[in-house]
Structure 1
Amino acid sequence: MTQAIAYLGFNGNCADAMRFYERALKAKLEVLMSGAESPMAEQMPKEFLHRILHARLVLPGGGMLYAGDCPGGAPYEGIKGVSIALDYPTTAEAEAVFAALADGGQVTMPMQAAFWAKRWGMLIDKFGTPWIVNGELQPF
């Protein structure tokens, strides 16, 4: 079965972001590989060995989120044109995750009722990742 998995790019703070997401999303960080820990360590410039080459976060229910730091010296423009959407079976779960992700970030649409979910909201977290959080999806 093919799955679409978001791969987030960061500029040297991937490890901090993924540890934050592990706590906020009640997930499990299974991989957090730096350049120094990779099979390519010998070929990498020493000043970039601390950067994360690959991270894998497993969400409750089996979904995944991947991430890494952009290559050292490459231009970084942030995360643009996409939001990570999360659906929760209850409004309480959605509200809790929304609050955790919003800590230190910017709420762009407070949690509220919508025709597709009993509660939904949008935010950009302190690492620059845009999120949409839905609680109790409704048929439409």
Structure 2
Amino acid sequence: MASQLNPYISFSDNARQAFQFYREVFGGNLTLSTFGEFGQTEGGDLIMHGALETDKGLHLMGADTPPGMERREGSAITVSLSGDDPELRGYWDKLSSGGTVTMPLEKQMWGDEFGMCVDQFGVPWMVNIAGDSAPKQ
């Protein structure tokens, strides 16, 4: 297997809901393991490891912050989606719905359509649709 780079996001007791939302956005196969499944009684139903893998080759991983560990809101990570796949616009629509658009998805000076949002779970996203796939304005 070739090397992969996977975003890994820490959540605050809502990883299950976040991953179910991301599966609705991207589709794919979702696996969730709880702390309880590995014998930990504290935080038993919290997600120890979650992984979403799509048919398009997208990978997203994450977990709830373990009990007793500190978590700071996610300004240290932004997940970037880019390419020429027409599905990128649908991903944008779903990710930004219920969240906050920090930069509207619009044609940029470099010829692509680009936007930024923070989803309903506080995770920042950037979406860049390549110029040939971006709608003409």
More helix by share: 1
Measured at CA, do residues 129 and 117 of structure 1 come closer, stay the same or move farther in structure 2, by a change above 3 Å?
Answer: farther
Does residue 1:73 correspond to 2:64, yes or no? Answer: no
What TM-score, normalized to structure 1? Answer: 0.84
Give the count of matched residue pairs.
131
1:130: which partner in 2? 124
Deviations 1:67-122 (A, max 9, x none): 101111222212122210011424x4222111100111100000011244521110
2:14: which partner in 1? 13
Does residue 1:32 correspond to 2:26, yes or no? Answer: no
2:99: which partner in 1? 105
For the aligned residues, what is the CA RMSD?
1.7
SS across alignment from 1:48: coil
SS across alignment from 2:9: strand
Any gaps of 5 or more consecutive residues in structure 1? none
For residues 85 and 137 of structure 1, the distance between their equivalents in structure 2, rounded to whole angstroms, comes to 16
What TM-score, normalized to structure 2? Answer: 0.86
CA drift at 1:66: 0.6
Could you tell me whether the CA contact under 8 Å between 1:59 and 1:65 is conserved in 2?
no
2:135: which partner in 1? none
**Seq. identity, %:** 29
Q: 4+ runs of 1 displaced by more than 3 Å?
A: none
2:45: which partner in 1? 50
Measured at CA, do residues 51 and 79 of structure 1 come closer, stay the same or move farther in structure 2, by a change above 3 Å?
Answer: same
